[in-house]
Amino acid sequence: MIKILYIIFLSLVVANCSFKNVVKHHGVPFLEKKQETLIVNKANKNDIREILGNPSTTSKFDNDVWIYIERKQTQSELKNLGRMKIYKNDILVLEIDKYGILKNKKFYNKDDMENIRIVDATTQAGFKKNSFIYDFMSSMRQKLNDPLGVRAKKRKEISQR
């Protein structure tokens, strides 16, 4: 009887194990192939939406900028305890003019993004502890934390004792 339970247990474990990697996909599938069909100065907004769908992100400056993303993750090796590892990360940036025509197209893959340098410079605070701004912000923080002044009254009572 115990042997049968072991066999059933082992068969369930083996049946649930998969040798294929689990792939989590996010964004537009086959972005690299689809973007090749878009021709600068010929494709318009309708063509882009038909081929790629709605953009992942949009922004509006002088021209519309549409951003499409494709990202694929899979589980890493057993020694990393199954953490997800990015193996495909593509971004397509499309610039569209005010007439709805594609004016510029830039495609970035995972290797391109690894070559992007990030500036290490930091912005310093523009005020010192004895400045007007510091005093003003400190008083505002105090009023937000204790709008009725209850804590200040308690401190006064304690100091008088």
Average pLDDT, integer, range 126-143: 71
Averaged pLDDT of the chain: 78
pLDDT at 125: 64
What percent of the chain stands above pLDDT 90? 22
Closest-CA residue to 105 (of 116, 96, 114, 113): 96
pLDDT at 1: 77
Extended beta strands in 46-132, E state: 57-60, 64-75, 84-96, 102-108
Does residue 106 carry a pLDDT above 80?
A: yes
* Residue 161 confidence class, pLDDT cut points 50, 70, 90: low
pLDDT at 23: 77
The domain segmentation of the chain, as residue ranges, is 21-118
CATH number of 21-118: 3.30.1450
Give the pLDDT confidence of 31-87 residue by residue, as tens digits.
889 999 999 999 999 999 999 999 888 887 666 899 999 988 887 665 556 677 788
pTM of the model: 0.58
Planar angle of CA 154, 156, 160, nearest 5 degrees: 120
